[in-house]
DNA sequence: TTTCCTCATATTGTATACAGGAAGGATAGG
DNA sequence: CCTATCCTTCCTGTATACAATATGAGGAAA
């Protein structure tokens, strides 16, 4: 009901290529730095070169791959600092949308809607013990919250930019949630994050722009802390989509 | 010396199409809302459909055109509010890079380099009377300053995002400079802008992150004021690239 | 006169052919 | 044994052909 499930029909070849390629890259099937052969992708995705090429252009804009001067594209590698900065950028953009929502005022309907989302998250975190399904649900709800927050800015330009910043590699609001799930502090982190959710909505309701902005920036820094925790051990790292693209600074 | 001038040789067809299409759109040759016929673009640009299509995808990412649900692309229209928000987004990103530069520290070489740029701008503004050539030079120098500022963040991710934000329609740091030139306050605006340039570099040198960020945000708001002035009368509006895409909210 | 349906046309999305050039290996020379 | 050069192979960028579908005009019916 949410979207078309059929993977073959009613989906453009370009979209199919885009999803396949993104999966291939994030799963680590393609080595960072390695040139992406278009013909190989034709074989692997089952679509012809034209849509593959379209998808490559979009993935370049997304930041997952980069153009090679002599032609073609290569998978990017990401340092811990790169990911930190991506999250910081996302925090800045979400801070901006939150401030805009607060200063310009959010509609009663939007506030009511996002509070329902918050209630759902509360219901989730009330469980004394959280399993993988719970975390998967949280990822969904969290995405819903962030999308709704963006919408509350009321600005198409800001919404677009916030979405684009969130689509940066490893910058997604839920990027490290699944990794959290293996951590002992998992529940604590979720509770803190949810408190920030509540606070930013309160700030928006009270028209406190500065406060709303700084909360969202801090909220992004919570993701950075998750990243640090996730990078700490291999078990959690394996739960991060695209972990094969992360180059550790040292091999000590 | 700055870049390849030859429009025919040694430039890929895709780049040629990209530049041609952007010009066509900004010049107002294509009506906002109107579907962009690929075949027409083939005729007008002299390249085949494939590179035209590539260029269209990139222009969509840039935000100048949007996909039509039934296929193809249409030129976007921009309200005054859209442009305000684009500039605000750019200000937020440049605020972020300035803060990063301040907090992480800029190299002596980078500081020396950007100060040379500032000196050049000072030399320009010292002229008692400014003609169109002066403003054109300012546009160049201003672009150089902003690019150098982005670089000072030292973060490839932030540089990239700052450039992308600056590439949003009408969000360029120099977007309304040429329009200024026809205004009586032109020189004043330039002097104020240049003072902000000096101040932000001082803040970065002194490691004052918060100050550097707020200066760049305010610097962007100066562009917003220029926009308001430019929208005020037709003479100045005509100097704005892409003015045909701006839809006035009312025709009073 | 207005609305709906049908059909011809035009346009996009996709596949594929072709040419120029880059990457890598093998071979010959130092 | 190392290095430089040439050659083969593969790959990308571009053009174009083809099919499915959207668009718009024109006519018929209410």
Three-state SS for B74-135 is EECCECHHHHHHHHHHHHHHHHHHHHHHHHHCCCHHHHHHHHHHHHHHHHHHCCCCCCHHHH
**One domain for residues B143 and B208:** yes
Which of B73, B92, B170, B171 would you mutate first to test chain A, the one with the most A CBs within 10 A? B92
A53 lies in the same domain as A94: no
Instruction: Confirm if B75 and B65 have CB atoms less than 8 A apart.
Output: yes
pLDDT at B182: 84
Do A57 and A112 sit in the same domain of this protein?
no
Least confident interval from A181-195, A228-242, B32-46, B238-252: B238-252
A117 close to B (CB below 8 A): no
pLDDT of residue A218: 98
A93 CB within 8 Å of a chain B CB: yes
Position B224 in a domain: yes
The verdict on B86 and B71 lying in the same domain is no
Q: Does residue B4 lie within any of the structural domains?
A: no
- Residue A113's Cβ-side half-sphere holds a number of Cα atoms within 13 Å equal to 13
Is residue B7 in some structural domain? Answer: no
Helix (H, G, I), strand (E, B) or coil at A246: strand
Q: Does residue A44 form part of some domain?
A: yes
Least confident range of A9-13, A195-199, B144-148, B173-177: A9-13
**Cα end-to-end span (Å), chain B:** 48
Chain B hits for A81, CB-CB cut-off 8 Å, are 155
B161 and A165: CB-CB below 8 Å?
Answer: yes
Are B64 and B129 contained in the same domain? no
Radius of gyration of chain A (CA): 19
Query: Which secondary-structure segment (H or E) carries B73?
Result: strand B73-75
Q: Cα(B127)–Cα(B181) distance, rounded to whole angstroms?
A: 14
Give residues with Cβ within 8 angstroms of B211, minimum separation 6: B102, B199, B203
First to last CA, chain A: 49
C1' of D13 to CA of A196 (Å): 49
| Final residue before a domain boundary, out of A75, A93, A124 | A75
A99 closest CA partner among A166, A171, A162, A191: A162
Q: Are residues A69 and A85 in the same domain?
A: no
Could you tell me if B155 and B69 lie in one domain?
no
> Between the CA atoms of B21, B24, B26 and B30, what dihedral angle is there, to the nearest 10 degrees?
-110
Domain of residue A103 covers 80-245
Instruction: Quickly count: other Cβ atoms within 10 Å of residue B125's Cβ.
Output: 16
Phi, psi at residue A186, to the nearest 5°?
A: -50, -50
Q: Does A2 reside within a domain? A: no
A190 and A86, same domain (yes or no):
yes
The structure tokens listed for A202 are: 């309160």
DSSP-derived letter for residue A47 is S
Q: What's the CA B53/C1' D20 distance, rounded, in angstroms?
A: 19
- What is the enclosing helix (H) or strand (E) of B25? helix B13-26
Q: Please tell me the distance from the alpha carbon of residue A207 to that of residue A101, in angstroms, as a whole number.
A: 8
Interface A–B counts its CB contacts (< 8 A) at 66
Please state, as a whole number, how many other Cβ atoms lie within 10 Å of the Cβ of residue A9: 6
The whole-number average pLDDT for the span B20-38 is 95
**Does A8 reside within a domain?**
no
Measured N-to-C along each axis, helices B156-166 and B80-104 cross at an angle, to the nearest 10 degrees, of 160
Q: Do the beta carbons of residue A101 and residue A152 sit within 8 Å?
A: yes
CATH number of the domain to which B167 belongs: 1.20.120.530
Shortest-distance nucleotide from B73 CA to C1': C12
Question: H helices of A76-208, where?
Answer: 80-104, 108-125, 132-152, 156-166, 177-180, 186-205
* Best A68, A81, A85 residue to mutate vs chain B (most B CBs within 10 Å): A85
Q: Is a pLDDT exceeding 70 seen at residue B130?
A: yes
Residue with tokens 């429009």: B7
Q: What is the pLDDT of residue B128?
A: 85
**How far does the CA of residue B184 sit from the closest CA of chain A (Å)?**
31
> Which of B248, B226, B244, B250 minimizes the C-alpha distance to B64?
B244
- Write the DSSP string, A58-80: HHHHHTSEEE-TTSSEEE--B-H
The residue assigned the tokens 């190989």 is: A40
Predicted local confidence at residue B250, as pLDDT: 58
Nearest residue to B174 (alpha-carbon basis) of B137, B133, B143? B143
- Residues B68, B96, single domain; the answer is no
> pLDDT category, B8, cuts 50, 70, 90?
very low
Residue B3 belongs to some domain of the structure: no
Give the pLDDT band of residue B5 (cuts 50, 70, 90): very low
Residues 6+ apart with CB under 8 A from B143: B173, B174
Each of the 252 residues of chain A gets a pLDDT tens digit; together they read 333 333 344 689 999 999 999 999 999 999 999 999 999 999 999 999 999 999 999 999 999 999 999 999 999 999 999 999 999 999 999 999 999 999 999 999 999 999 999 999 999 999 888 888 999 999 999 999 999 999 999 999 999 999 999 999 999 999 899 888 888 888 999 999 999 999 999 999 999 999 999 999 999 999 999 899 888 888 888 889 999 999 887 544
Question: Is the confidence at residue B161, as pLDDT, over 90?
Answer: yes
Q: Assess whether A95 and A112 both reside in one domain.
A: yes
Count of domains in chain B? 2
Tell me the pLDDT of chain B averaged across its residues.
92
Query: What's the confidence (pLDDT) of residue A35?
Result: 95
Residue B158: predicted pLDDT: 98
* Domain-embedded: residue B123: yes
Q: What angle do CA B3, B4, B8 make, to 5 degrees?
A: 155
**A90 with A146: CB under 8 angstroms?**
no
- Domain check: are A134 and A71 in the same one? no
Q: Is B14 helix (H, G, I), strand (E, B) or coil?
A: helix
Region for A72 from its dihedrals, namely left if φ exceeds 0, alpha if ψ lies in -120 to 50, beta otherwise: left
């Amino acid at each position: 009901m949410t979207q078309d499930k059929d993977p073959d029909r009613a989906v453009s070849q370009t979209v199919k290529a885009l999803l396949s390629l993104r999966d291939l890259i994030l799963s680590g099937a393609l080595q960072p730095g390695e040139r992406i052969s278009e013909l190989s992708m034709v074989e692997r995705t089952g679509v012809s070169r034209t849509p593959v090429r379209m998808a490559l252009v979009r993935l370049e804009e997304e930041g997952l791959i980069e153009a090679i001067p002599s032609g073609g594209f290569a998978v990017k590698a990401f340092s811990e600092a790169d990911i930190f900065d991506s999250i910081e950028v996302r925090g800045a953009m979400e801070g901006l949308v939150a401030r805009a929502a607060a200063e310009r005022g959010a509609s009663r309907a939007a506030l009511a809607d996002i509070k329902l989302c918050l209630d759902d998250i509360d219901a989730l975190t009330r469980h004394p013990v959280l399993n993988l399904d719970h975390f998967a649900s949280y990822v969904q709800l969290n995405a819903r919250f962030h999308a709704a927050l963006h919408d509350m800015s009321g600005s198409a330009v800001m919404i677009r930019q916030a979405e684009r910043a969130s689509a940066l590699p490893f910058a997604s609001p839920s990027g490290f949630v699944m990794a959290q799930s293996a951590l002992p502090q998992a529940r604590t982190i979720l509770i803190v994050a949810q408190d920030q959710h509540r606070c930013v909505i309160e700030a928006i309701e009270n028209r406190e722009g500065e406060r709303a902005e700084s909360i969202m920036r801090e909220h992004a820094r919570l993701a950075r802390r998750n990243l640090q925790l996730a990078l700490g051990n291999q078990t959690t790292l394996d739960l991060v989509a695209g972990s094969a693209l992360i180059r550790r600074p040292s091999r000590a």
